[in-house]
Amino acid sequence: MTLVKTLGDNNPIVRAEFKHQRFVIERGRVGWVWIALAALLVVPSLVASLGYIGAILLDYQAYEFLNNWQSNITLMLVVANMSMYPVVTLMTIGLARNSISREKDKHTWGILRLTNIQNRQLIDGKWWASLWALNGDHGMVNLLRVGLLATYLVTAMPVLHAQNLGIIAPYRLYFLIFMPLFIIHGLLDAALSAIIGIIAAIPDEEWGTVATFTAMTVRLVLVVVTLYALWWIVATLHVNPVLAIMVMVSMIGVITALFVITLWASYRLIERV
């Protein structure tokens, strides 16, 4: 049974788990505190991202040094990217892990294992529901990331070329090449976070804490590495765009391999516990 066949509505785990995850998320986000934080931090960054994406698609570039408001917008986007990405990653791992640990706490995990639901259906359903429950958050992370790329291509990169190299590059083409690569990497990164949360919850109670701590530590290290790699790619783009593309494609290959290995390991692990 392939992964795709277990993600549809025919899998009862997907329906039940997604309904529960959405309930947990909505209950946890009510109140003025969350709304105020979203309004103050996330919404302006999303608006700025959309604005710069529109500017680069219209092939607009600024060939003068950044003024104060442009610098402030760029700083806001950097801070939003560096804060939203780790937070959403940890939320994804937590939701995914809770999808199995909740069953164990309520003593329904053993019952699920005795039904006609196959182990792969169980893993895939919990993983997909946990991932899809946060689709809006992952969408915001990707939009902020693409927006920061567009900001760099509209402002900083033309200035660097004009002041230091005296050249004009196809900035819109750069954006059209890197935008899908950024999005693909972001989706695979989110998928990896969810499956890490799943595999951390499969072991019994004795090893569950160790597995969770190890999974969270490894994932946070990957978050730091990813942020640094994306920053390096953007900073290298004005000097060597071909190298930046090669590194970006390599990152997609690595994250794909990690996801496939972790998914396969979760299949094997659930068979042994």
Place 31 in a pLDDT band, splitting at 50, 70 and 90.
very low
Mean pLDDT of the chain: 82
Place 14 in a pLDDT band, splitting at 50, 70 and 90.
confident
pLDDT tens-place string over residues 219-232: 889 999 999 999 89
Higher pLDDT, 95 or 205: 95
Kindly give, in sequence order, each residue whose CB lies less than 8 Å from that of residue 201, ignoring residues fewer than 6 positions away.
96, 97, 98, 99, 100, 101, 104, 208, 211, 212
pLDDT tens-place string over residues 235-273: 888 888 899 999 999 999 999 999 999 999 999 988 876
pLDDT tens-place string over residues 58-109: 888 765 555 666 777 788 888 888 888 998 998 899 889 888 888 888 888 7
Kindly give, in sequence order, each residue whose CB lies less than 8 Å from that of residue 132, ignoring residues fewer than 6 positions away.
18
Please say whether the beta carbons of 129 and 8 come within 8 A. no
Q: Structural domain of residue 39, as residue ranges?
A: 4-272
Kindly give, in sequence order, each residue whose CB lies less than 8 Å from that of residue 155, ignoring residues fewer than 6 positions away.
61, 62, 66, 70, 74
For the residues 172-189, what does the mean pLDDT come to? 94
The total of structural domains in the chain comes to 1
Query: Model pTM?
Result: 0.85
Higher pLDDT, 5 or 214: 214
Vertex 258 angle, CA 257 and 263, to 5°? 100
Place 189 in a pLDDT band, splitting at 50, 70 and 90.
very high
pLDDT tens-place string over residues 103-138: 888 888 778 777 777 888 889 988 998 888 888 889
